[in-house]
Amino acid sequence: MQYLELNALQTELGRYGLVVLGFPCNQFGKQEPGENSEILPGLRYVRPGGGFTPNFQLFQKGDVNGETEQRVYTFLKNSCPPVIENFGDPNKLFWSPLKIHDIKWNFEKFLVGTDGKPVMRWYHRTNVATVKSDILRYMRKQNLLYG
């Protein structure tokens, strides 16, 4: 489950300066239909449930693609190459126009350096162990690992 994996990344790498940020979005299969006030209770009691609470910053819901996308996503997407060229089922995508750099599905991830520049981007199905390994490699290269 992606939320559990994001919590684990924050727990394991937060002491080295990693800050996980979550941006809920309803553009992929309408998987986040509720109001902002419903997101945390939905995580706690439904998906993933079991009293789950994110240990990372969760922002208000917004668009990551299309004409109403958040500016941060315009910046991120234009700074990192797309992770895959093709789109999934267009009937499950709720934005327009479709662009090659668009985020293709929930839980696509970006790594932004301490200088504010995007470093890398991962496909939504990339194994969290790969993401963690890539982050650790980057942190070692930047001399960010300590303790």
In a domain, 125, yes or no: yes
Q: Residue 23 and residue 36: Cα distance in Å, rounded? A: 11
In a domain, 73, yes or no: yes
Q: Residue 138 and residue 147: Cα distance in Å, rounded? A: 17
In a domain, 119, yes or no: yes
DSSP assignment of 59-113: ----BSSSTTB-HHHHHHHHHS--S-SS-S-GGGB--SS--TTS--STT-EEEE-
pTM of the model: 0.92
- How would residue 90 be classed by pLDDT, with cut points 50, 70 and 90? confident
What is the tally of structural domains in the chain?
1
For residue 8, is pLDDT > 70? yes
Q: Which CATH number goes with the domain that contains 48?
A: 3.40.30.10
Mean of the per-residue pLDDT values of the chain = 95
Look at the chain and count its residues: 147
Q: Which domain holds residue 56?
A: 2-141
In a domain, 147, yes or no: no
In a domain, 70, yes or no: yes
Tens digit of each residue's pLDDT (9 = 90 or more) over 27-70: 999 999 989 999 999 999 999 999 999 999 999 999 999 999 99
In a domain, 146, yes or no: no
